[in-house]
Structure 1
Amino acid sequence: MDMKPHTSAHATADDDVLVEQSNWMRWYLGAPGTVLGTVVGIVLVVVLKQVPVIYDMTEENSDFAEYFHGVGVLYFRALTCVTIPLAFINVAMCVSDMVASKMKRKLQLLLLTTFTTACALAQGLFWCYLFTGSFDSDGYMAPLANTSAVMAFQCPSLSGDASPATLRQDVATGALVCGSANDTNRTTEIFSFKDFPFSARSTGPRLLSFPSTIDEIKYMVNLVVPNNMASMLMENNVMGVVTVAIMFGIACGLTSRKDRDNRLEDILREFHAIFKTMLSYVIAVTPVAIIPLIAAPLLAHTHTVSADTPRLAAFLGTFLLAATGHCVIVLPLVLLVCTGTNPMRYMALMKEALVYGFSCSSSSKSVPVATRSMDGLAGNRNVARFAASIGTCINKSGGALYVCMALIWTFHNAGLGDQLTFVRLGVVSAVSLVASLAIPPVRTGGVAIVVSLFTFLSGVPITYSYSFLLVAECILDPLATVINLWGNVLVARIISFNSVSSSRS
């Protein structure tokens, strides 16, 4: 008797529904969702400006746009709040695994990773130097360089209804008189003095300024070595987080050597899974959050679609030039010199993994595909797998390139390009190299790092430029993932090849 199950048709239909829902969710969370949110934000501005009352409000009240921007800022705050702890756990786990491992070529792995990442940063700086004029926008934030208090005397008033007068000086005679500040004839000027033992404290954002280059370098060193772990986390000090995570990972790895049943590592892995789940919730609202983020600068008249679209396109083109040079010229040359392997054949072998990495925008998901492709090559398979696994955290040349160029573009697009001196560009490069370790291997993971670093480098909180950077990120993130993966498997191939060569000798 044929016992054919009656639920097969229903199961097939349910599977089709799940696949369709998965496809829609992939489109929503990917570039199409971000582009759709951008278009909705632009259309919203056009519709609002058709209402006379709202149009007059946007023209007369500059704070009107801040109401929209405040909603979008909540997204950046949530993104940063979850990303920083996840970065700490991710770096600590990676360092712990490296320290606990018995692999002998750890130093070579670190040196090759640092070298390839530095090459990517050098190319990013070179192309930004050539096309940085295409990033510039009009300045809309005024620096507060002078903090000296300027005091004036208020004259006594016999009438309670009269406006208080100030002590003024007659321009012609120099005599002191009491008069109103609204002196249209300008026969008097305010009598003020600056010899006051206090400094004025501004409640608004202000640009960081340093008396000398040494002071600026000392400021950055203090970020790398924080003196308070609680304030480090509360202020989203990415540099300090990476430093503490490395030390914590070393201690955890040394403990694992003595105790294989290290429960601390198990706790870290559980927290890692929890924070990744939390981050997925934040990422899910990206297409919605970008609507007020795009509308705010357009309503504030600091940005326009016609002016900033070419600037954004120039940024994307510059990043593509740097990425192409790094992936097609620099990295293959490194592979050829170190192993004698044909770079084109190796790239063809990794084609499936690179395409998968571009589609999922996640280094952690694409590394298993890449390691399967490397298993058939000559070399130590275990070393290659371990190097690729560790490289997911430490070998992020694409992430470092993205952070560096995004910081430069944000400075210029915010009208602060003159703040990028040669010394600060060097600081940006060093900071990008260290902060790339903190980028979680998920979509939009680099945005929170850029937001935190820009605040520490400039002293300015979330600017309107991030709104357009978020649009570019949906295109740059897959490219950065491919650069990370290509550099990672290339270094893993070199380590594997050299380990076999040394064992034979």
Structure 2
Amino acid sequence: MSMHDHDTDKDGMHVETTEASPSKCRQWCLNPSVLILMGCVLGIVLGCLLGKYGASKELLTWVSLPGELFLRALTCVVVPLVFVNIFLSVVDMLQAGHAAKSGLYTLGYFGLTTVLSVLMSIVSVTVFKKWFSHTALSQANVVGSAGMLLVPCGNSTDAASVRWFPNGTLVCAAASDASSPLVLPSQSPTAPPTLSKTIQDQIFRALVPDNIVQQFVTGNYLGTLFLCHCIMAFAILLAVSMDKVTPRPVGIVQLCGELNAMLLVCIRFIIDLTPLAVLSLVAGGLGTTTDFMAAVADVGIFLVSFLVAVQF
């Protein structure tokens, strides 16, 4: 069917008409960011309804199950996708003879985008964190006196008893302490690692794993701030080593290329399910909360920060 139709007016003149273009409103509604926003809003509504009518924990697990499966599928596909992409990229650079120059450009671009991402994250946290709800004291360290089981302990003149708290803590306290909340001493924090220890563990030891298969299983493919992690380093090592082999092993390159094409299709299919996953996770999370106003306010601030980040 032609894009142009010819109509005849009263004077016998031919008037050329063009088919209507797709609706801008429909294009806007199909925008991925808009779909994610809609999924979040629907998740808030569904989560509030589930919490209001006292949905059971079993029902909430079914509600949040699609979101959990989405995260598992994303993690499952990303690890091999990163490996084959790094491997093929290094192979292409070696074949073109510009490995050093292209590598420097890639490393510089990666470092620049990483710095910009970190700066944007810091700015977003600084701007929006004051609107999120906070509790005055940690529930892990502050325990009320309700629901305690009294067992005598200590000297008889002290009227002290062993008090059991819902978090499993046993304390020998006097009766005078029962009317006020008991602030439990927190565990002594461990000493922070030194700079040398951090550099050795997060950079050098991370680049040379003792078990590459375990790294694939754990999905630990992300790196430090400017350096790639072990799976990326292993892919680069394989690509450089393959370039030194004669005759050149073409089969492995073809296999990785076909795997890359299939994994890209998988990742597109998974990403298309992001709005449904957001709806599932938000609804499942809000269904378990009792303070709906604080939770909805936090989600609203998150949506505002998300929309601001999308603009950049």
1:264 CA drift (Å): 1.2
1:93 aligns with 2:88: yes
Whether contact under 8 Å (1:168, 1:179) holds in the other structure is yes
In the TM superposition, residue 279 of structure 1 has moved relative to its aligned partner by 2.2
* Kept after mapping to 2: 8 A contact 1:86/1:272: yes
Query: Using the alignment, how far apart are the partners of 1:32 and 1:100 within structure 2?
Result: 42
Choose between structure 1 and 2 for higher RCO, CA contacts under 8 A separated by at least 6 residues.
Answer: 2
Give the Cα separation in 1 of the matches to 2:31 and 2:190: 39
Letter of the 1:249 counterpart:
A
Where 2:209 maps in the other structure, the secondary structure is: coil
Counterpart of 1:219, as a letter, is D
Describe the superposition over 1:337-357 as per-residue Cα deviations: whole angstroms up to 9, x where unpaired: xxxxxxxxxxxxxxxxxxxxx
1:211 Cα offset (Å): 3.1
> Which of the numbers 224, 243, 257 marks the counterpart of 1:253?
243
> What displacement does 1:315 show?
5.5
Post-superposition Cα deviations, 1:45-95, rounded to whole Å, max 9, x if no partner, equal 2433453x43xx6xxx7x975554344111101111011111101111111
- Does residue 232 of the first structure (1) align with residue 221 of the second (2)? no
- TM-score when scaled to structure 2? 0.62
Amino acid across the alignment from 1:92: F
Q: Mark the CA change 1:209 to 1:234 in structure 2 (over 3 Å): closer, same or farther.
A: farther
- Whether 2:209 is the aligned partner of 1:219: answer no
Q: Which aligned pairs between 1:80-159 and structure 2 lie closer than 5 A? A: 80-103=75-98, 106-136=99-129, 137-138=132-133
Gapped regions of structure 2 (runs ≥ 5): 3-20, 141-148, 166-170, 178-188, 222-228
Contact 2:162 2:172 (C-alpha < 8 Å) held by counterparts: no
Taking the aligned partners of 2:44 and 2:28, their CA distance within structure 1 comes to 23
- 8 Å contact kept, 1:170–1:187: no
Deviation digits for residues 243-299 of structure 1 (CA, Å, limit 9, x no counterpart): 1111122223333xx445611111111111222232233233222222111213323
Cα distance in structure 2, aligned partners of 1:210 and 1:99: 45
1:190-223 Cα distance to aligned partner (Å, 9 max, x none): xxxxxxxxxxxxxxxxxx9763234443432333
- 2:233 equivalent to 1:243: yes
**Separation in 2, partners of 1:125, 1:181:** 45
Q: 1:231 to 1:39 in 2, by over 3 A?
A: same
Distance 1:93 1:143 in 2: 50
Q: Which amino acid aligns with 1:266?
A: Q
Whether 2:41 is the aligned partner of 1:35: answer: no
In the TM superposition, what are the counterparts of 1:392-431 in structure 2 within 5 Å? Answer: none
Q: 1:33 is paired with a residue of what secondary structure?
A: helix
- What's 2:185 paired with? none
- TM-score in terms of structure 1 length: 0.41
Is 1:307–2:307 an aligned residue pair?
A: no
1:170 maps to 2:165: no
Shift of 1:187: 5.5
Matches within 5 A, 1:89-488: 89-103=84-98, 106-136=99-129, 137-138=132-133, 168-170=153-155, 181=164, 186=174, 211-214=192-195, 215-221=197-203, 222-238=205-221, 239-255=229-245, 258-259=246-247, 262-301=250-289, 304-314=295-305, 316-317=307-308, 319=309, 475=310
One-letter identity of the residue aligned with 2:208: V
Deviation at 1:29, TM superposition (A): 7.5
Distance 1:26 1:284, change over 3 A: farther
Q: 1:34 to 1:267 in 2, by over 3 A?
A: same
Q: Secondary structure at the match of 2:244?
A: helix
* Partner AA of 1:253 in structure 2: D
> Contact (CA 8 Å) 2:93, 2:102: kept in 1 or not?
no
1:394-442 Cα distance to aligned partner (Å, 9 max, x none): xxxxxxxxxxxxxxxxxxxxxxxxxxxxxxxxxxxxxxxxxxxxxxxxx
Q: Structure 2 CA distance, aligned partners of 1:171 and 1:315?
A: 61
* Bigger fraction of residues in helix: 1
Distance 2:115 2:163 in 1: 59
Secondary structure in structure 1 of the residue aligned to 2:174: coil
Asked whether the equivalents of residues 93 and 265 of structure 1 are also in contact (C-alpha less than 8 Å), the reply is yes
Whether the aligned pair in 1 keeps the contact of 2:39 and 2:279 (CA below 8 Å) is: yes
For 1:55-66, list aligned pairs within 5 A.
none
Report the CA distance shift for 1:126/1:230 in structure 2 as closer, same or farther (over 3 A). Answer: closer
Cα offset for 1:316?
4.8
Identity of matched residues, %: 19
Q: 1:35 to 1:245 in 2, by over 3 A?
A: same
Aligned residues: CA RMSD: 4.5
Cα separation, 1, equivalents of 2:306 and 2:37: 17
Shift of residue 41 of structure 1?
Answer: 1.4
Q: Note closer, same or farther for the CA distance 1:165–1:128 as it changes in structure 2 (3 Å cut).
A: closer
Task: Give unmatched runs, 5+ long, in structure 1.
Answer: 1-7, 10-18, 145-163, 190-207, 320-474, 480-505
Count of residues in correspondence between the two structures: 253
